[in-house]
Structure 1
Amino acid sequence: MKTIRGTLDRIVEWFCIVTMGVMTLLVTWQVITRYFFNNPSAITERLTQYLFVWLVLYGAAYVFGKRDHMAIVFVEEKLPPSIRRVVEILQEVLIGVFAVGVMVYGGYQSTLKQMVQADASLGIPMGVVYSAIALSGICIVFYSVHNIMELSGKKRAAAMKEEGV
């Protein structure tokens, strides 16, 4: 499971890095064509918008997987360690359920519905853009399951330590 997670982390990391690099080049080109040639490119503008959406969704999945996302932990820090782990597991379960229901299922349905509509400037089906919702949702579900397994392992190790095993 850790090998799969490491591979997924590297794929998402590189996807986000490459996407950010491409966006930088596209925006630079957009500025050059707008201000120096007085002829802005509609293609680069639209492509940058879509890449930004993908960057946000995949970046959010990556940060969630690393457990580096913003969290309000005031109440959680006041709890004893054993209850804190239960709360953390419950949070992961709720996020996983949300990701399955809204992102994976809803994103998949949106992707299918939008495949018939093409973008005017790029000519690609809008479903390609919407597919980022379902795919990033799959990443979040995987990370959620992995985090639950990791937290459960810590809970078992703590219980064994308390029992003196």
Structure 2
Amino acid sequence: MQTTYKILNKAIEGLLVLIFSLLVLDVVWQVVSRYVVGQSSSFTEEFARFALIWLTVLGAAYINGQKEGHLSMDFLLSKLSADKQIRRNRVIQLLMAVFALVIMVIGGGNLVYTTLKLGQLSPALQLPLGYVYAIVPICGLLIIFFSIYHIKITFNANQK
């Protein structure tokens, strides 16, 4: 599981860098085409929107895998004993996995299925919107994996 965790983290990091780089190039091209060429490209705004969606959702899954990256208020947590802190973290990871399953995997999967079934296309790129929304259930599965990984790590740490 540790090897899978490391491979997933590296793959997500690479994908995030790629998406961010494409987003920067897209926005630069939009500015250049608007002010230098005098006519803006029709696809750049739509691509930037889709790239930002992917960047945000994938970034949330990545940060969930890092565990320390999420913004949290731990004032009350620091007042608990070490055992209660571990139990609280397990409950939080379990709730995050349930949320990811119900909202992201099941709900996002339904959204992808519906938009693909209806044949909805984006206006400028003529891309099926189901492909754009597919990142939601994929990241839901990633969050579930990372939550299970963090729960397993805490169980292994307690047994030592």
| Interval of TM-score (by shorter of Structure 1 and Structure 2) | over 0.9
2-side partners of 1:144 and 1:152: how far apart?
12
TM-score normalized with structure 1 length? 0.93
SS of residue matched to 1:107: helix
The Cα offsets for residues 92-123 of structure 1, whole Å up to 9 and x where unpaired, read as 00000000000011110000111120111111
2-side partners of 1:41 and 1:60: how far apart?
30
1:130 is matched by which residue type in structure 2? Y
Following TM superposition, by how much is the alpha carbon of 1:155 offset from its aligned partner in structure 2, in angstroms? Answer: 2.3
Which runs of structure 2 are paired with 1:145-164 in the superposition (5 Å)?
A: 145-157=148-160
Following TM superposition, by how much is the alpha carbon of 1:36 offset from its aligned partner in structure 2, in angstroms? Answer: 1.3
1-side partners of 2:73 and 2:53: how far apart?
25
Identity of aligned residues (%): 28
1-side partners of 2:14 and 2:55: how far apart?
11
1:112 aligns with 2:137: no
1:143 aligns with 2:132: no
SS of residue matched to 2:37: coil
**CA radius of gyration, larger in:** 1
1:49 aligns with 2:49: yes
SS of residue matched to 1:86: helix
2-side partners of 1:91 and 1:41: how far apart?
45
The Cα offsets for residues 114-163 of structure 1, whole Å up to 9 and x where unpaired, read as 11201111111100111011111111010000000001112223xxxxxx
- Aligned-pair Cα RMSD in Å: 0.8
Deviation above 2 Å: which 4+ runs of structure 1?
none
Which runs of structure 2 are paired with 1:7-86 in the superposition (5 Å)?
A: 7-67=7-67, 68-86=69-87
The Cα offsets for residues 64-110 of structure 1, whole Å up to 9 and x where unpaired, read as 10011111111111000001100000000000000000001111000
In the alignment, structure 2 segments of 5+ residues that lack a partner are: none
Of 95, 107, 132, 2:135 maps to 132
1:75 is matched by which residue type in structure 2? L
